[in-house]
Amino acid sequence: MAAGAEMADVRLALDPFDPAAEIAAFNAAHPHAGGIVTFLGQVRLTGGVEALELKHYAPMTLPGMEELARAVRARWLLEGLSIIHRSGVMRPGDPIVLVCAAARHRRDAFAAADFAMDHLKSQSWFWKREKTAAGWRWIEPRAEDFTDLARWDHSASR
């Protein structure tokens, strides 16, 4: 299959997923890729965080993730792309998001994964809150998240 021709694997995970198994399956599915980049985001064990909850709105979340995957695949020549994002309550150390990008050349894979994560961090279709000993509090994207996203407005691809 030609680069960019296959569909991306985009999933909204309502239950925990096994990152190692997902990465192994992705790698096995793309033996002709010269570079495979994976990014795993997990719940931090800092600041007294006891739990993290991501809520989603079904009519927006998965379609938004699928549109992001289309944008990534339109911008870089990829052999494969996978985006898995959790929704629900998670504990420190639990995986939240996994992005895998396979490309003939490493730079396309790195850029595609980075672009996808910058969009997920600042323009996602999730509402996030964390629980500490003081209770639950909502979390908004940081200014740095928007700065990271803005750099893609002027960058070239392919």
- Mean pLDDT within 124-143: 88
Distance CA 1, CA 103 (A): 13
Residue 155 confidence class, pLDDT cut points 50, 70, 90: low
Q: How far apart are alpha carbons 32 and 83 in whole angstroms?
A: 20
Mean pLDDT for the stretch of residues 72-100: 97
Instruction: Residue 56: name the closest of 157, 129, 152 by CA.
Output: 129
pLDDT for position 71: 95
- Residue 100 near residue 111, CB atoms below 8 Å: no
Q: What percent of the chain has pLDDT over 70?
A: 90
Helix (H) or strand (E) segment spanning residue 39: strand 35-42
The pLDDT assigned to 7 comes to 63
Asked if pLDDT for residue 3 goes beyond 70, the answer is: no
E strand or H helix at 137, and its extent? Answer: strand 135-139
- The rounded distance, in Å, linking the Cα atoms of 60 and 76 is 24
pTM exceeds 0.85, yes or no: yes
CA distances from 109 to 32, 136, 142 (A): 13, 37, 25
* Mean pLDDT to the nearest integer, 54-71: 94
Looking at residue 148, what is its pLDDT?
Answer: 65
Is residue 11 within 8 Å of residue 99, measured between CB atoms? no
All structural domains of the chain: 9-152 (3.90.1170.40)
Query: pLDDT value at position 1?
Result: 34
pLDDT bin (cut points 50, 70, 90) of residue 8 is confident
Average pLDDT over residues 105-113: 96
Of 46 and 30, which is predicted with more confidence?
Answer: 30
Q: What is the mean pLDDT of the chain?
A: 89
Q: Find where tokens 């908004």 sit.
A: 140
| CB 22 within 8 Å of CB 100 | yes
Q: What is the pLDDT of residue 152?
A: 81
